[in-house]
Amino acid sequence: VSEDGDQQKRAQPRPAPPRPAPPPPRPALWEPWPSPCRSSWRFGGSREGVEWLWTTTAPTQRRPSPSTTSTRADSNRRTYTWWTHCPMMPQNCLVTPALCARPTPHSRTDSIHMPFGDVFIHAGDFTELGLPSEVKKFNDWLGTLPYEIKIVIAGNHELTFDQEFMADLVKQDFYYFPSSSKLKRESYENVRALLTNCIYLQDSQITVRGLRIYGTPWQPWYYGWGFNLPRGQALLDKWNQIPDDTDILITHCPPLGFLDWVPGKMQRVGCVELLNTVQRRVQPKLHVFGHIHEGYGMMTDGSTTFVNASACTVNFQPMNAPIVFDLQTSRST
């Protein structure tokens, strides 16, 4: 009987271990940001401000990148993590929400959550065709933003900002461009003057709190849109205008190898002349661009931080979160 009793005891299952305690509640400042590239923002509150932990997992590019960061071993996926800090009352905070990869309808801008900051940078494509009516709506939206300084460049969709392109379009009687009837109905000669709520840069520079910011809209030829130039010397001539002492560079197109991968084409589409200009000569602290929907995110080569601030996904939905930076400047500026 004793042996049978021992066998019964041994046959009894062990008690289940205690369940772990539930995780602590999320901070009040936590807010999820939907993103097509599987990015996530984690917010942690404090008395002094808010800290952002941004982690994104992006497909590894099998094709070698000209970036010095490509020396790491390839794997199926690669994860990048950055910490930034934005005080509750920021003094030197750079905001790069940009809406820059694709024109965002004005009715959708109201749903975009805009973070704290002092300087707003938009890297182009704020309209569909650059129509004066579209520019006015965008300018009105800029007027509602609380940022002290707002800097904007054009993108390939701002057709009317490219005077040479429009002159050629008129000569051809608009025959080769879709939606030509929309362009014909509006006067576009002084369209740049409609941007009264921002600083518009086109191959020009401005100094903000000691930071030299240069903006230029040109890009390698892309399906007959605005600000197109052939690859090679024509684009290099434009990049040669960028001053050596530039701290923040704003272009519409990306440099080759940085956030420029287009899965549908299985190739990088960035500009190699721009890459050489940035890495070998200018070496800015920050390079902001857009244009390529799939490239949303950040990278660095150890000297320059590259930001693809595209607000729209490849499906033209404004789902990507604004990107916030702290850049140290002189208190006297």
Which position has the token pair 């794997």?
Answer: 75
Residues 6 or more apart from 179 whose CB is under 8 A from it?
128, 129
pTM greater than 0.75 (yes/no): no
**Domain spans of the chain?**
90-326
The alpha carbon dihedral of 229, 286, 284, 151 has a sign of positive
Residues 6 or more apart from 261 whose CB is under 8 A from it?
59, 61, 267, 268, 292, 294, 295
204: enclosing H helix or E strand: strand 204-208
Q: Which residue has the higher pLDDT, 212 or 4?
A: 212
pLDDT tens digits, one per residue of 198-254: 999 999 999 998 999 999 999 999 887 899 999 999 999 999 999 999 999 999 999
Nearest-angstrom CA–CA distance, 82 and 9: 55
| Residue 64 clears pLDDT 80, i.e. is over it | no
8 Å CB contact between 130 and 186: no
Q: According to the model, what pLDDT value does residue 6 have? A: 56
Nearest-angstrom CA–CA distance, 322 and 167: 35
Pick the CATH number of 90-326 from 3.40.50.300, 3.30.70.920, 3.40.640.10, 3.60.21.10: 3.60.21.10
